[in-house]
Amino acid sequence: MESVRWRDSIAGYLYLLPALFVLMAFHFIPIFYALYISMFNWRILQGPFVGIANYTAALTNPDFWDSLKVTVYYAGGVVIISIVLSVLIGYALTQRIRGRSIYRLVYFLPYITPVVAAALVFRWIFHAQYGILNYVLGLVGIPAQQWLLEPRGIVELMLLPIGIAPPGWAVGPSLALVSIIIFTVWHSIGFGVVVVMAGLSNIPSEVYDAARIDGAGPWQMMRRITLPLLSPTLFFLMVVSTIGAFQSFSSVYIMTDPVHGGPLGTTRNATMYIFQNFFEFTRLGYASAVAFLLFFVVLGLTLLQVKVIGPRVHYQ
């Protein structure tokens, strides 16, 4: 019997070989290589060993912290707005209404489009001078905005009419960043809607019948039955969206071209910061260090979500 197990084991690994090779060579080992690179002053060629100098440089560089702040604003905005909208739309689409699959198709459509092309279109929509958005807002009395060129924070802008100037830390993400957030929500909403619909369909309809007989009104139904039973799906969306938002690049690259940091660097997220250091300044070692720091932040954030919110998720 042992020989059968050996044969199976060898067979198993043979099947894995192609995938294993790719993952090892380009996904797994490179992590350690990146760690190695990060400890050198690496420009185009490998330079002298510098230990943790790149890390300390990053941690003491306000540009790094700014990029992290931008990323957090971005992730927070995208994740929260997407999930809320996905639940609302997804819930609406699981009611017995006609044309449900057409709606689903429409909402999913943006997700299919290449980010670059779609971002280009939105850049045109957000155009400060000729953009349609300013025109439409003008029709309802809202003054034209600079959108992707606007470095001022959204909180600051909203308080402007009342004449309050919030302190520096409270100005919120720049309007430019908010524009990119709006774009990302538009682009990825379909995914959330479909996932929420799948999660809702997993709730047996008998449970709703029982709740109706037990006397639950629509609000209680939502609060005590639907949302708890949807919580695994929402948890999944939250974790996955956060991880995705921290790796976002294309939208920023396109919508803030050619100054990829955006107005006053307010759209330079962590990925862009790493990219610029790597691609434009060829500081490979430094870029690697920053990438690792980002990795730890994402890891920490995910663990935080799992530990804090995980236990409150109701699994069936």
Partner 1 sequence: MVCPAPREASNNVANVTLRGVSKRFGGVTAVNSVSIDVRDGEFMVLLGPSGCGKSTVLRLISGLEDPSDGDIAIGDRSVKGLSPKDRDIAMVFQNYALYPHMSVFDNMAFGLKMRKFPRAEIDRRVREAAELLSIGHLLQRKPRELSGGERQRVAVARAIVREPQVFLMDEPLSNLDAQLRTQTRAELVKLQRRLQATVIYVTHDQIEAMTMADRVAVMRGGVLQQVDAPQRIYDFPANRFVAGFVGNPGMNFFDARVRADGGSLSVDAEIFRVPMSAAESLEDGQEIVVGVRPEDIGVTAGAAGNAASNLFTATADIVEPLGSEQLVHLVAGETRFVARVDPRLPVAMGDVVSCGIKPGRAHFFDAQSGERISETRPNGLPAAALARG
Partner 2 sequence: MSGSWMLHVPLVIGAVITLFPFYWMMTTAFKGIEEASAFPPTFWPTQLVWDNFPRAWQAAPFGRYLVNTVFVALGQTFCVVVSACLAAYAFARVPFRGKNIVFMCFLATMMIPIEVLLVPDFIILKTLGWYDTYLALIVPWATSVFAIFLLRQFFLSLPNELWDAAQIDGCGRFGFLWRIAAPMAKPALVTVGLLSFHGAWNALLWPLIATGSSEMRLLQVGLAAFQSDARVQYHLWMAAAALTMAPMLVIFFFAQRYFIEGASRSGIKG
Residues 7-26 that bind partner 2 (CB under 8 A): 8-13, 15-20, 22-23, 25-26
Toward partner 2, which CB reaches closer, 110 or 228? 110
Q: Give long-range contacts, CB 8 A cutoff, 24+ apart: 47-50.
A: 47/285, 50/285
- Give the count of beta carbons closer than 10 Å to the beta carbon of residue 256: 25
Within residues 171-210, the interface with partner 1 by CB under 8 A covers 204, 206-207, 209-210
Among 214, 223, 236, 300, contact with partner 1 (rule: CB under 8 A): 214
Cis previous bond, 30, omega within 30: no
Toward partner 2, which CB reaches closer, 142 or 164? 142
- Give the count of beta carbons closer than 10 Å to the beta carbon of residue 125: 16
Among 41, 76, 127, 228, contact with partner 2 (rule: CB under 8 A): 127
Provide the CA 2 distance to its chain's centre, in angstroms: 49
Toward partner 2, which CB reaches closer, 160 or 306? 306
Strand ranges in 145-195 using DSSP code E only, listed in sequence order = none
Among 194, 203, 211, 264, contact with partner 2 (rule: CB under 8 A): 194
Residue 188 Cβ vs partner 2, minimum distance, rounded to whole Å: 11
CA distance 165 to 177: 20
Closest CA to 247 of 175, 295, 306: 295
CB 100 within 8 A of CB 114: no
Q: How many residues bind partner 2 (CB under 8 A)?
A: 98
Residue 224 Cβ vs partner 1, minimum distance, rounded to whole Å: 8
129 near partner 1 (CB under 8 A): no
- Give the count of beta carbons closer than 10 Å to the beta carbon of residue 266: 23
Toward partner 2, which CB reaches closer, 175 or 293? 293
Among 3, 129, 205, 316, contact with partner 2 (rule: CB under 8 A): 129
Segment contacting partner 1 (CB under 8 A): 73-81, 159-167, 216-224, 271-279?
A: 216-224
Closest CA to 301 of 261, 270, 273, 267: 270
From residue 142 to residue 181, the character string flagging contacts with partner 2 as x (rule: CB under 8 A) and all else as - is ----------------------------------------
CA distance 315 to 311: 10
Q: How many residues bind partner 1 (CB under 8 A)?
A: 20
Alpha carbons within 13 angstroms on the beta-carbon side of residue 162 total 8
CA distance 20 to 26: 10
**Residue the block writes with tokens 């609406």:** 92
CB 267 within 8 A of CB 174: yes
229 near partner 1 (CB under 8 A): yes
Task: Give the one entry of partner 2, partner 1, none that residue 316 binds, where binding means its C-beta sits below a cut-off of 5 to 8 angstroms depending on kind.
Answer: partner 1
Among 189, 263, 265, 268, contact with partner 2 (rule: CB under 8 A): 189
Task: Give the one entry of partner 2, partner 1, none that residue 276 binds, where binding means its C-beta sits below a cut-off of 5 to 8 angstroms depending on kind.
Answer: none
Residues contributing to the site for partner 1 (CB under 8 A): 204, 206-207, 209-217, 220, 224-225, 228-229, 314-316
